[in-house]
Amino acid sequence: MALKLFNTLSRSVQDFVPLDPAGKKVGMYCCGPTVYDFAHIGNWRTFVFGDLVRRYLEFKGYEVNHIMNVTDVEDKIIKRVRENKTTLREFTAKFEAAFLEDLKTLGCREPHQKPHATDFMPDIIALIEKLIARGIAYKAADGSVYFSIEKYRGCGCTYGQLVKLNFDEMRVGERVKSDDYAKESVADFALWKARVPDDGEVFWASPWGEGRPGWHIECSAMSMKILGTSFDLHLGGEDLMFPHHEDEIAQSEGAAVQEPGQRFVKYWLHGAHLLVEGKKMSKSLGNFFTLRDLLAKGFTGREVRYLLLTSHYRETFNFTLDGLNGARQSLARIDECLGKLCELSGATTAEADTQLVDEFTAGLDSDLNIAGAWGAVFEWVRDTNRRLTENALTPAQAAAALAAWDKINSVLGISAAAESEAPAELLALLEERQAARKAKDFKRSDAIRDELKAKGWIIEDTPKGPKLKKL
Ligand code: AMP
Ligand code: ZN
């Protein structure tokens, strides 16, 4: 069955058909973290959702080029750099390192590239120059460069593709310099922000004087430079729909760099927000959790990942500590079943059972209906446990069941306890190596093998697939 995804652009569920004429390669850009603090559990919901999309596409046989940017210059960062009396690089490096560590703890596959906005200044400037040349961007008296909504619309382009906007209430010529604004205040937004004293040492030279880019143009420039002017998938949390993604479309399509008839992005996917105990997370309510806060309470990355993967990505998810305890119990049920299957199968190998894989796939093909996929998993656990109790399984059947589990676990990324002796980040690397081998990227797979070895682990091929063994 074909994979179907809800495209925010068409507001409908569509068949996923990559732009690649061979139907194999997929370009996917996920808006990454703004590295001014530790990522919170809401952010992690969105990043784990991105990981699910990538893993499922790889499971379906696509060669995914997964790009996740690191926003290392924008309003909030500059404010914190000023408050902490530090430098931009020093400040962002700390939170980026923490982010990457957490990403591994949560068993997410590492993106193939993690571009930094500060390394793309020439591309950002070139894109703004294109918009100026087309008359869609202009320099204002304060030296900043703005995107003209009126001129863009005058070129026959639509502003308001992801969200509906009421232009009757819009006052032409108004400008907004901040990256964040509500859709009720649609205005010309900043592409380049002229240097002001508060920026301190954070500025770059440009044809319009010293300054820094707006947040939205960073993602347009980086995504198109790496994935091409038209690519398949662009992901983020629902709050990024407006203005960030709307402005990305306007900048990228306003520059008219696409082939005729092509869009900037074919499918836009947005994950719904996470609430904690039914409320929006906030430090003052005491319901604000980073991953580190949860690890300190004794939970594991695997448990958090499992919980974040239990709900459909387009539904608001209510995160609770009780839910995490429930995740622990559910994982224990899965682990117990897998442990018994391992014992019974011994060294026997077998082709994977198709039923579990088929039902799991049917769920996820339908706009990543994870509830359906989990339903298949727990039905399988129940049925397997029953057959184990009745001694109705042969070692070959147990091996076939385990092989089926391995297949679906390549999507879920919640390896069983027996394999979890190696830290989650190493298991994620092992999985990435499998994916690289599948994609015939032997350079990458060898590099991962060497990295694992350097960390004291060797890969051992077993009848149930590769495992990590301590040197
Ligand atoms: P930021 O680091 O603020 O740029 O956010 C990183 C990602 O987290 C973006 O895709 C946001 O849309 C997403 N995000 C922010 N808050 C939440 C939340 N409460 N639930 C889910 N995703 C969120
Ligand atoms: Zn972005």
Tens of pLDDT along 337-358? 999 999 999 889 999 999 999 9
Cβ–Cβ under 8 Å, residues 307 and 324? yes
Give the model confidence (pLDDT) of 43-74 as tens digits.
999 999 999 999 999 999 999 999 999 999 99
Please tell me if the CB atom of residue 33 comes closer than 6 angstroms to any atom of ligand 1. Answer: yes
Distance 86 CA to ligand 1 centre (A): 25
- Calculate what percentage of the chain has a pLDDT beyond 70: 97
Q: Whose CA is nearest to atom 17 of ligand 1?
A: 42
Tell me: pLDDT of 381 over 50.
yes
Q: Which residue's CA is the nearest one to ligand 1's atom 18?
A: 42
The pLDDT value recorded for residue 437 is 87
Q: What is the mean pLDDT of residues 221-228?
A: 98
* Residue 418 reports pLDDT greater than 50: no
**406 touches ligand 1 (CB under 6 Å):** no
How distant, in Å, are the alpha carbons of 87, 355, 375, 412, 461 from that of 400?
56, 11, 20, 19, 17
Q: What is the mean pLDDT of residues 308-314?
A: 98
* Residue 375 near residue 310, CB atoms below 8 Å: no
pLDDT at 376 over 50: yes
Q: For residue 388, what pLDDT is reported?
A: 97
- CB neighbours of residue 275 within 10 Å: 16
pLDDT of 417 higher than 80: no
Q: Helices 395-412 and 354-365: crossing angle, nearest 10°?
A: 20
Average pLDDT rounded to a whole number, residues 115-128: 97
Cα(173) to centroid(ligand 1), Å? 30
The helix/strand/coil state of 430 is helix
- Predicted pLDDT of residue 273: 96
Which tokens hold the place of 17?
């058909």
Cβ of residue 34 lying under 6 Å from some atom of ligand 1: yes
Phi first, then psi: give them for residue 340, nearest 5 degrees: -65, -40
Is 80 exceeded by the pLDDT of residue 362? yes
In which band, very low, low, confident or very high, does the pLDDT at 422 lie, cut at 50, 70 and 90?
confident
Between the CA of residue 57 and those of 29, 232, 356, 364, 410, what are the distances in Å? Answer: 14, 12, 18, 10, 11
Q: How confident is the model at residue 95 (pLDDT cuts 50, 70, 90)?
A: very high
Cα(133) to centroid(ligand 2), Å: 24
Nearest to 250 by CA among 128, 158, 127: 158
How far is the C-alpha of 147 from the C-alpha of 92, rounded, in Å? Answer: 28
> Considering every ligand atom, which ligand is closest to the CA of 244?
2
Which residue from 34, 38, 46, 269 has its CB within 8 A of the most atoms of ligand 1, so it is best to mutate? 46
pTM, rounded to two decimals = 0.89
pLDDT of 284 strictly over 90: no
pLDDT tens-digit profile of 241-254? 999 999 999 999 99
- The whole-angstrom separation of Cα 234 and Cα 365 is 18
Per residue in 100-119, pLDDT (tens digit) is: 999 999 999 999 999 999 99
Q: How sure is the predictor about 470, in pLDDT bands with cuts at 50, 70 and 90? A: low
Q: What is the CA radius of gyration of the chain?
A: 24
Query: 């058909």: which residue's tokens?
Result: 17
Name the DSSP class of 117. G
The average confidence (pLDDT) of the chain is 93
Give the pLDDT confidence score for residue 462 in this predicted structure: 67
Q: Is the pLDDT of residue 420 over 50?
A: no
427 and 419 Cβ atoms separated by less than 8 Å = yes
* Beta strand extents in 245-321 (DSSP E only): 265-271, 274-276, 317-319
Look at residues 181, 201, 197 and name the one whose alpha carbon lies nearest to residue 189. 181
Q: Check whether 471 has a pLDDT greater than 70.
A: no
Atom of ligand 1 nearest to the CA of 32: 6
Query: What per-residue confidence (pLDDT) applies to 439?
Result: 86
CA distances 38 to 33, 41, 303, 438, Å, are 9, 10, 19, 34
Task: Report the alpha-carbon distance of residue 109 to residue 428 in Å, rounded.
Answer: 6
The whole-number pLDDT of residue 174 equals 84
- The answer to whether the CB of 252 is under 6 A from ligand 1 is no
Cβ(150)–Cβ(186) under 8 Å? no
**Tokens representing residue 124 in the block:** 């950002």
Is residue 419 over pLDDT 70? no
Helix or strand or coil: residue 140? coil
- The protein residue whose alpha carbon is closest to atom 15 in ligand 1 is 43
| Ligand 1 contact, 18 CB (< 6 A) | no
Strands 63-68 and 25-30: parallel
Give yes or no for residue 27 CB within 6 A of ligand 1: no
pLDDT at 304 over 90: yes
Q: Which residues contact 330 (CB under 8 A, 6 or more apart)?
A: 306, 378
Q: Please identify, by atom number, the ligand 1 atom nearest to the C-alpha of residue 317.
A: 20
